[in-house]
Structure 1
Amino acid sequence: MDPMKARAAVPVHLPVSNPTTSYWQDPPDEIADYESSSSFPEKIDTLIIGCGITGVSVAYGLLTSNKLGGDTGKIVMLEARQACSGATGRNGGHTKSASYRSFESNTTTHGLPTAIAIATLEYETITSLHAFAQANDIACDLFTGDTVDIIYSRADWETAQSAVQAIRDAMPDKLDTVARYHFWTAEEVREKFNVRGKECVGAVSYQAGSLSAYRFVIGLLKLCLEFGLQLYTNTPAIKLSRSSDQSWEVTTPNGVISAKRVVLATNGYTAAIWPHFQEKIVPLRGQIEAQIPPSSLSELECTYSFIYPDGYEYMIPKPANSQFPSYPGDVIIGGGLAMLAAEGAEEFGISDDSTLNPQLTDYLGKCTERYFGVGDEWKVRQEWTGIMGFTGDGIPFIGEVPGEEDLWIAAAFQGHGMVLCWGCAKALVEMMDGEELGNFPDVFRISEERMGVEFGGRHS
């Protein structure tokens, strides 16, 4: 059997009860174990399964919808563990699209208008998410500024230049937004970005940012609770089925809840709840470290990615005024899958975030020395894992599940959730309300044809 097909066939299970401790959730927020009532609801209008950025964004959209004058009925959210304890509360917090790296592939596969729509969605997700956090005073270590991709091979350098030119040609009216890129020579990279380890070819910078995704979602969740959302943490959805009246019945440890419609915001865990997604949404375990840099690199001014053939790492310096956790100056480093055997194939199919891969521990621990040329002064503060979700065609599933009325999904963000989830959640709410979607990429809509695409690994 093909190795990737074998990994896709590994049974997906519900989130484990003993995950590695995420840096962002240490300590957990006061609502981490929140229950809206000691009396578990039996009949509701909308049930959202999953309390990450997607589920909470969908809840916020429904609760503030003008479609029904703000009256969307009773909305309940279930979370298997603590609030925001899945991928959102475990990622690096990088709001970075790197649209140029997928633009030409998207153009070839889906056509130029769709490639433009995807790049625009990614950019607008970043800017609107940041604007929302600022407008609503959500304390989440928000940083808005440029990022830089340090490129280590001549082929990747030439591909980057070609792709950036393609974006500029396609969007000449957006040269100061979606299509704004700047190239740097190897010498400029050494001086401006302190990258003085492994020799690079050059770099490209563009608008991005970072934040504590956990704190952003907790802040948004508190708004939703004020608006009437009912939340039940530590309450996994064990079984999903149709009742005789065609409503949805969801079995939980607290009892059975009946809902007119259900939203699966469950990303890599989706197949554990709705088995039809086995081999359609494949989990992948990612690993991240928080490191303490030496004083000589304590004031890095942007976020980084380090691009090499078939792989990359990313690095996020925390702001000097960081509050969550209160370790200003720390850097967050993730990636490295491509350096494992078969480009990390064995990490696919894993839905258990309670363990670490020792090879990645060793590799990530040496990344800063590799790229910045500074050795033993770096120290690892914390290390953890999280579960992402991937599809056969490399794009998310958004919309009503084919053949299943009132079963909706927004999942499988391919490790790029921070530049997709917010915008995709907004689109899903519009779909549920029967509204026009504007410039949303139609290829993101779930379909039987897309679900039939065989899984072959990551697309980026």
Structure 2
Amino acid sequence: MTHIRSIGSHPAAASLWAATASDAPPVAPLTQSAHADVVIVGAGFTGLSTALHLAEAGVNTCVLDAHAPAWGASGRNGGQVNPTLKYDPNELRRMFGAKADALIQTVSTSADLVFSLIDRHHIDCDAVRAGWIQASYHDKGVPALHRRAEQWQRLNIPVSCLDRDEILKRTGSNMFAGGWLDHRAGKLHPLSYARGLLRAALSNGAQVHGNSPVTQLQRQDGKWVATVAAGATVKADQVVLATNGYTDALWPGLARTVLSANSFIAATRPLGTAADHILAKGETLSTAERLMIYLSKDRDGRLLMGGRGQFRDPKDRSDFLHLERSLELLYPQLAPFEIEYRWSGRIAITRDFLPHIHQPEPGLTMALGYNGRGIAMSTSMGQQLAKLLCDRSGRDDFPFPITPIQPIPMHGLQRFYIAAGLAWYSLLDRLSKR
């Protein structure tokens, strides 16, 4: 049985996570106008984490989402909890000088925050903290990965360099030449985790409304007013826009600051003992090549393979063949694989591969652009946004740079950008292996 039949209209319905998640707390649409201190647009990881941390601080918070909470990529990603950015400490210091230290600390502890929230709120989401492997297929790429590890080691962060033998033992594949292991990282069931954050936010007094698309955002008499499609409104002192890869035209120019790219995932049927040697300790894996793929196992022994796909939403099995072929190349002894689930979700990619935070008007904050590192970074972002909104003294201690809204030039060609980028990076990877 293949779970792809409804992926065009509702990708979450086709996913492994939707089929195996914990029950969702009931949240009703907004039908009556309300007041709040803070209104949050978007009930993914960023919105739910912000709401939880605000509610714990006693702030009256209301979250509005066009669909069910975690309907977007928060409920459809690969489940990897990686406390990294594209850039390592040395690069961040060159970019931001002395201000980089707070950012490095926030990034480095982002996985700690995820797993502490899971423990504190008793979130049942199959959490395993056994580390993340970044691997290279060829010898030329290994020294760069070892240099990444060495930067973090100098900060007393628990990471390890892996040679060809060590990475074979951990991954069960002889396709890799080496890499590094970040022991801070882990994995979880992303939809169950999001629903756990939702449950915790609700229990602390936050209001959350699904199926309540915000159609207008405006200032009236010193307040922000968010109007949903049904006509009800929420008046608030502060607004947070947390829509990431599903950002629309609600605020002028914001959607054009990111490329909204699809991440495709395929999951096999449970493989039983035949796959015991693959990521045997519960690690996750991604490749360092430009055209990245990522891999993990779920609690039932399914292999999950993810990677970038076409800009459009997938239509049929053929859109996932590149993932299935990758699995067969990595583990030919187990081929052919029977794929049980196929699904996708949209991530937001920024030009500089950093999260973007904007405050274009007083009381209005926007956060988006996690570049495929959403679980750890957006959870941490929610905590930091809550601190920022509660701090009346200013934003000097906020670890992320706050920047103006700068749309990507010729953003209307993003379909072309993504298609051309996939082809170009695939070519570069092939050439670099010669």
Say whether the fold is shared (TM-score over 0.5): yes
CA deviation vs aligned residue, 1:340-360 (integer Å, no higher than 9, x gap): xxxx6x52xx5xx5x357665
What is the CA distance between 1:109 and its match in structure 2? 2.9
What is the CA distance between 1:266 and its match in structure 2? 0.7
Amino acid across the alignment from 1:314: Y
What is the CA distance between 1:311 and its match in structure 2? 2.6
* 8 Å Cα contact 2:263-2:346 kept in structure 1: yes
Corresponding position of 1:311: 291
Corresponding position of 2:225: 249
* 8 Å Cα contact 2:80-2:284 kept in structure 1: no
- For residues 268 and 222 of structure 1, do their structure 2 counterparts lie closer, same or farther at Cα, with a shift above 3 Å needed? same
Amino acid across the alignment from 1:329: G
Q: 1:80 aligns with which of 66, 79, 87?
A: 66
Corresponding position of 1:125: 110
1:234 aligns with 2:211: yes
Q: Distance in 2 between matches of 1:137 and 1:301?
A: 23
Amino acid across the alignment from 1:47: V
Q: Distance in 2 between matches of 1:302 and 1:415?
A: 20
Corresponding position of 2:428: none
Corresponding position of 2:141: 156
Q: Distance in 1 between matches of 2:99 and 2:276?
A: 41
CA deviation vs aligned residue, 1:179-211 (integer Å, no higher than 9, x gap): x22222213332343113x3x221311211001
Q: Distance in 2 between matches of 1:44 and 1:303?
A: 42
- For residues 406 and 99 of structure 1, do their structure 2 counterparts lie closer, same or farther at Cα, with a shift above 3 Å needed? closer
* 8 Å Cα contact 2:357-2:400 kept in structure 1: no
1:271 aligns with 2:243: no
Q: 2:301 aligns with which of 329, 336, 347?
A: 329
* 8 Å Cα contact 2:86-2:353 kept in structure 1: no
What is the CA distance between 1:33 and its match in structure 2? 5.6
Q: Distance in 1 between matches of 2:69 and 2:161?
A: 41
What is the CA distance between 1:272 and its match in structure 2? 2.8
1:376 aligns with 2:335: yes
- For residues 77 and 20 of structure 1, do their structure 2 counterparts lie closer, same or farther at Cα, with a shift above 3 Å needed? closer
CA deviation vs aligned residue, 1:269-299 (integer Å, no higher than 9, x gap): 2233213213213311111111233632146
Corresponding position of 2:167: 189
1:58 aligns with 2:50: yes
| Helix, strand or coil at the partner of 1:121 | helix
Q: Distance in 2 between matches of 1:420 and 1:431?
A: 16
- For residues 268 and 125 of structure 1, do their structure 2 counterparts lie closer, same or farther at Cα, with a shift above 3 Å needed? same
What is the CA distance between 1:101 and its match in structure 2? 5.9
Alignment: residue pair count: 402
Q: TM-score, normalised by structure 1?
A: 0.78
Corresponding position of 1:420: 377
- For residues 256 and 100 of structure 1, do their structure 2 counterparts lie closer, same or farther at Cα, with a shift above 3 Å needed? closer
Q: Distance in 2 between matches of 1:29 and 1:237?
A: 27
What RMSD in Å do the two structures reach over aligned CA positions? 3.0
1:90 aligns with 2:76: yes
Deviates more, 1:124-133 or 1:293-302: 293-302
Corresponding position of 1:204: 180
- For residues 425 and 144 of structure 1, do their structure 2 counterparts lie closer, same or farther at Cα, with a shift above 3 Å needed? same
Q: Distance in 2 between matches of 1:374 and 1:436?
A: 58
Q: Distance in 2 between matches of 1:397 and 1:83?
A: 22
Q: Distance in 1 between matches of 2:295 and 2:69?
A: 25
CA deviation vs aligned residue, 1:86-144 (integer Å, no higher than 9, x gap): 11101111002355864444344334x45554443223110121022122211010101
| Helix, strand or coil at the partner of 1:148 | strand
Q: Kindly report which structure 2 residues correspond to 1:3-152, keeping only aligned pairs within 5 A, or say none.
A: 18-21=10-13, 22-26=15-19, 30-31=23-24, 34-35=27-28, 39-65=31-57, 70=58, 72-73=59-60, 75-98=61-84, 102-111=88-97, 113-152=98-137
Q: Distance in 2 between matches of 1:309 and 1:215?
A: 30
What is the CA distance between 1:30 and its match in structure 2? 4.4
What is the CA distance between 1:453 and its match in structure 2? 6.6
- For residues 135 and 306 of structure 1, do their structure 2 counterparts lie closer, same or farther at Cα, with a shift above 3 Å needed? closer
* 8 Å Cα contact 1:152-1:306 kept in structure 2: no
What is the CA distance between 1:54 and its match in structure 2? 0.8
1:290 aligns with 2:267: yes
| Helix, strand or coil at the partner of 1:311 | coil
Q: Distance in 1 between matches of 2:133 and 2:95?
A: 27
Deviates more, 1:90-99 or 1:160-169: 160-169
1:259 aligns with 2:235: yes
| Helix, strand or coil at the partner of 2:133 | strand
* 8 Å Cα contact 1:101-1:163 kept in structure 2: no
Amino acid across the alignment from 1:423: S
* 8 Å Cα contact 1:294-1:378 kept in structure 2: no
- For residues 229 and 192 of structure 1, do their structure 2 counterparts lie closer, same or farther at Cα, with a shift above 3 Å needed? closer
* 8 Å Cα contact 2:40-2:242 kept in structure 1: yes
Amino acid across the alignment from 2:165: E
| Helix, strand or coil at the partner of 1:378 | coil
| Helix, strand or coil at the partner of 2:124 | coil
What is the CA distance between 1:231 and its match in structure 2? 1.9
Gaps of 5+ in 2: 1-7, 412-416, 426-434
Corresponding position of 1:3: none
Q: 1:441 aligns with which of 394, 399, 402?
A: 399
* 8 Å Cα contact 1:356-1:384 kept in structure 2: no
* 8 Å Cα contact 1:148-1:302 kept in structure 2: no
